[in-house]
Amino acid sequence: MAAATDDAGDSNEMIRVVSSDGEHFEMPEAAANLSLVLRHMIEDDCADAAGIPLAVVAAKPLAKIVDYCTKHAAKSSGLTIEEAEELKRFDAEFIEVDTDMLYDLLVAADFMGVEGLSKLAVQRTADLIKGKTPEQNRETFGIVNDFTPEEEEEICKENEWAFQITKPPSRLC
Amino acid sequence: MDLDGTTHDDDDDVKFELLCDDLLEFILLRLDSPICLVRAASVCKRWRHVIADAGFLRRICSLHRPTVAGLYSVGHQASPIREVKLRPIFIPSPSVAAAIDHRRHLSPVFLYMYRRILDSCGSLLLLEPRLCTFQDITVYEPFTRLYRLINPPAPRESGHCSVVGAYLLGGGDADDEAAGCAAASMSNFRVVCTFYDHHDRAAHASVLDQRNFIGRAGGSLYWATRDGKVHVLNGITMETSTFTFPDNETWSSSLCLDIWLRYYHNRVLRVVDCGGGAARMVCFAGLNLEVFSRPRGGEKWAPEKSVRLPENTLQFVPEGLEGYYVFDSLFETMVTAGAGFVVFAPSEDAPLLFQIDLETEVVTFKLKDRRYNVPQFPCELPWPPALHACV
């Protein structure tokens, strides 16, 4: 788990959270505040030593989310261009995960109300969809093709141009 | 949502099927090109159902600009003075060339049948079979190969009117301004013709002449005349209005000459659609590209930014062509424009073209074949694409 960096907000208090499978995590209050749900619970004094239970977030994605919030809280205001660039690089590396984890992050970030992470995961998923044929998308996301062959033919015919991948020219021009 | 925390890696292949509708919609709204969208709508019934929804398609069109498939040209000079017949061409945008078979679906062969491209808008071209007669002008959609012949009626019973311009607009709906600004497609277009009445000797009679045309934005058409006036035809209400060009100095130093000597594909002044009904006016002033806009959607035009051209474009010139890299404030011209961008040539004879995105100021480079030193009309991919089957 990432340690809190020097200037992680006014309050240095650590907030404890508990994953659905019983693992405990800690992050600075400024980091926890990036989650709408955690912020409301902190405001309502629900954050105690036992930790805030997150019933639908498993340990694996929660560890990532704590990482994300800690990093972003430490660098939230008055960014220099270099820092903004570094944060961008962090995000790009952070979201390089398999589709399994991506799904967990999408759902958990949405549930916890971490807006930045939610956007990041949504964009990453959209980027994975782009540039793929329907069959490749089904494979990537484990989706069953529920069209009949007749329906598939009709759909292809409607926008034929979108389904033909560029062939190299028959002769060099 | 019941997500079992102890789930392990083996059986989560089907996880994405569990994604709630809201998140799925958020994700699919990020698809910014019709190619991705059409393909995503063919993955499964659920994805198709979300994408083909009319509300979803309206939202996605307001979020992303249409994709320019490429530029068409009939291959001869549209200059009224000299005409050199060349081969029709289509120059695809790099992203489109990589994704679809443009040789098959966007081939310019149909252009052999026509003398001129009069206009382009959305995924449509307006074509003229015989020069300067406007008889049987044709609306053509290269993607679907659908076409419609149009014969402009005379505006009055007297036979003393002649057509001086024909333009394409998206479908007009007076009750729905957003629909009026929507990209033109075969199921959503209008042809606007302007006439010159030979009996009407008023000074402004031929103001709305194709030679004065400077572009379109937000469903309106724009013309400029020598006196420094810009004339607007609101495509929704069909009313005209006139305003004075906002920068007197620039007008009298370079633009007033432009209007007299140049024509549409060889201009230093353009009006460009920047999405959501917003317009920008772009002109050359010396070696700068000056951009004007109407802040907060008001009526008044104000300078927005100024882009110094030589400094911003030199890095894109490929090796071996530096010799052509001369910016000539007399001959730099905007060859064409589309939603949010202009394409310009730094001087008359150089085989160099640059495209500048007015929002981001990003410049990209295009190589112009010297023999095809011709007007170029952008053609967009259908946006939104047609998704009627199996929904």
Whether residues B3 and A58 touch (CB distance < 8 A) is answered with yes
Write the DSSP symbol of residue B20.
-
Facing B386 at nearest CB: one of A104, A107, A159: A159
Domain boundaries, chain A: 14-72+86-129
> Which pLDDT score is estimated for B249?
81
> Which pLDDT score is estimated for B219?
85
In a shared domain, residues B167 and B36: no
Range of the domain at B52: 16-56
Of B130, B220, B159, B141, the C-alpha closest to B386 is B141
Residue B219 three-state SS: coil
Distance of CA A133 to the CA centre of its chain: 24
Reading chain B (391 residues) residue by residue, the pLDDT tens digits are 444 444 444 444 568 888 999 999 999 999 999 999 999 999 999 999 999 999 999 899 888 888 999 989 876 554 555 555 667 888 888 888 888 888 888 888 888 888 888 999 999 999 988 776 788 899 999 988 889 998 887 665 556 777 888 999 887 554 444 444 467 888 888 899 888 777 766 544 577 888 888 999 888 999 988 788 899 998 888 898 999 988 888 887 767 665 555 666 777 889 998 877 788 999 888 788 899 999 877 788 999 988 888 777 777 777 777 777 777 766 778 888 888 889 888 776 667 788 888 888 888 777 666 555 566 799 999 888 889 988 8
Per-residue tokens: B35 = 């190619």
Q: May I ask the CATH class of domain A14-72+86-129?
A: alpha beta
Chain B hits for A162, Cβ within 8 Å: 34-35, 38-39, 100, 385
DSSP states of B97-127 as a string?
HHHS-HHHHS-GGGGGG-SEEEEEETTEEEE
Compute and round to an integer the Cα radius of gyration of chain B.
23
What's the CA gap between B351 and B371, in Å, rounded? Answer: 9
Asked if residue B372 belongs to a domain, the reply is: yes
How distant, in Å, are the alpha carbons of B123, B288, B334, B391 from that of B250? 34, 11, 16, 54
Asked if residue B232 belongs to a domain, the reply is: yes
* A71-104 residue pLDDT tens: 998 876 777 888 889 999 999 999 999 999 999 9
Answer for the pair B224, B212: CB distance below 8 angstroms, yes or no.
Answer: yes
Chain B hits for A126, Cβ within 8 Å: 27-28, 30-31
* A113-141 residue pLDDT tens: 999 999 999 999 999 999 899 999 999 99
Asked if residue B5 belongs to a domain, the reply is: no
Residue A168: pLDDT band (50, 70, 90) is: very low
This complex has an ipTM of 0.87
Number of domains in chain B: 2
In a shared domain, residues B192 and B145: yes
Nearest-Cα distance to chain A for B145, in Å, is 12
> Which of B2, B3, B22, B187 is the best substitution to test chain A (most A C-beta atoms within 10 A)?
B3
pTM of the model: 0.79
B294-323 residues touching A, CB cutoff 8 A: none
Comparing A163 with B257, which gets the higher pLDDT? Answer: A163
Compute and round to an integer the Cα radius of gyration of chain A.
21
Of A55, A89, A73, A63, the C-alpha closest to A6 is A73
In a shared domain, residues B41 and B121: no
| Amino acid at site B126 | L
Counting every residue written for chain B, the total comes to: 391
Distance of CA B268 to the CA centre of its chain: 17
How distant, in Å, are the alpha carbons of A62, A87, A119, B113 from that of A109? 9, 18, 9, 57
> Which pLDDT score is estimated for B369?
63
In a shared domain, residues B294 and B170: yes
Residue B58 three-state SS: helix
Name B31's Cβ contacts closer than 8 Å, sequence gap at least 6. Answer: A126, A129, A130, B37, B40, B60
Whether residues A166 and B12 touch (CB distance < 8 A) is answered with no
**C-alpha torsion sign, points B328, B272, B378, B227:** negative
> Which pLDDT score is estimated for B37?
96
Asked if residue B241 belongs to a domain, the reply is: yes
Of A54, A163, A106, A104, the C-alpha closest to B143 is A163
Asked if residue B177 belongs to a domain, the reply is: yes
Facing B100 at nearest CB: one of A127, A155, A166: A166
In a shared domain, residues B174 and B287: yes
